[in-house]
Amino acid sequence: MPRTYVVTGSASGIGATTTRILRERGERVIGIDLRDAEVEADLSGPTGRVEAAAKALELAGGTIDAVIACAGISAPIPATISINYFGVTELLEHLRPGLVASDAPRVAVVSSMASLQPNSREMVEAALAGDEAKAMQIAADLAAQGPEVGYLVYPSSKRALARWVRRSSITPEWAGHGIPVNGVAPGTVLTPMTEKLLSTPEGRAMVDAAVPMPLNYHQPPESIAHLLIWLTSVENSHMAGQIIYDDGGADASLRGDDIWSWNDPA
- Active-site residues, by number, are 154
Kindly report the number of other CB atoms within 10 A of residue 49's CB atom: 25
Which residues neighbour 237 within 8 Å (Cβ) at sequence distance 6 or greater?
180
Long-range residue pairs from 55-61, CB within 8 A, at least 24 positions apart, any chain = 56/6, 56/30, 56/32, 56/95, 56/98, 57/95, 57/97, 57/98, 59/30, 60/4, 60/6, 60/30, 60/98
Burial category of 15 from C-beta neighbours within 10 Å (exposed 0-12, middle 13-18, buried 19 and up)? buried
Please list the residues that pair with 8 across neighbouring strands.
Answer: 32, 69
- How many residues belong to the chain? 266
* Element of type H or E holding 246: strand 243-246
